[in-house]
Chain A
């Protein structure tokens, strides 16, 4: 799986959009970008994933650059409950060995 690079931490004011960047310059053509988050000591939670088109669901939007070397997770109206560690992960959609390799992620602080 390709490696990802994320900022260690970020702050965002409550009610504003939180934009979390991720670099994955060695991504392969068959690898998807997945985002998970972990709220303090809880189990990681799937947020969204995409291949090359922008994706949106009820939790967030995912913007992937045209060259697919970077992406941004957008939480449109951040709340205090969005304070968590956010993990950007690159992996293939179907693979025999489909473990998730978690990096250190971005610790997002939502400020009241």
Chain B
């Protein structure tokens, strides 16, 4: 158990809909990262938040957005869903900023999104 909690585990929805994926980082971790894993693209970095602020963006579509709340949990919002958005979405957390933490990211179990 990595200590990172993602909900829900599975999500089935229809095209055009909007969903929210939730991530609770390990206790005390300030950084949250979101990754997408689809069959043809592998693991792709989406976005990084540190203590409530956006730090880096990767291959994240404009239809997708994220935020990190004062209690450090994060949400990834996916809207106007398309069939191609079906994927596993992983959240990771890291203490970042602590040299002893060695820049290790701890991943949650993921949310499997199926868009029908």
Q: Is B109 an interface residue (CB 8 A)?
A: yes
Chain B nearest CB from A41 CB (Å) reads: 6
Q: Which of A7-15, A66-74, A75-83, A89-97 contacts B (4 or more CB under 8 A)?
A: A89-97
Q: Is A104 an interface residue (CB 8 A)?
A: yes
Q: How large is the interface on B (under 10, 10 to 19, 20 to 34, 35 or more residues)?
A: 20 to 34
- Provide the bound-state CA to CA distance between A104 and B55, in Å: 25
Say yes or no: A100 contacts B110, CB within 8 Å: no
- The interface residues of chain B, by DSSP majority, are classed as strand
Chain A nearest CB from B60 CB (Å) reads: 11
Number of A-B contacts (CB under 8 A): 65
- Which residue of B58, B92, B107 has the most chain A CB atoms within 10 A of its CB atom? B107
> Interface size on A (CB < 8 Å)?
24
Say yes or no: A49 contacts B110, CB within 8 Å: no
- The interface residues of chain A, by DSSP majority, are classed as loop
Query: What B residues does A101 contact at CB under 8 A?
Result: 45
Query: What B residues does A100 contact at CB under 8 A?
Result: 33, 35, 43, 45, 92, 105
Say yes or no: A43 contacts B99, CB within 8 Å: no
Say yes or no: A45 contacts B107, CB within 8 Å: yes
9 A-B pairs with C-beta separation under 8 A: A44-B107, A46-B104, A46-B105, A49-B102, A93-B102, A96-B56, A99-B45, A100-B35, A101-B45
Q: List residues of chain A with CB under 8 Å of any chain B CB.
A: 32, 34, 38, 41-46, 49, 91-104
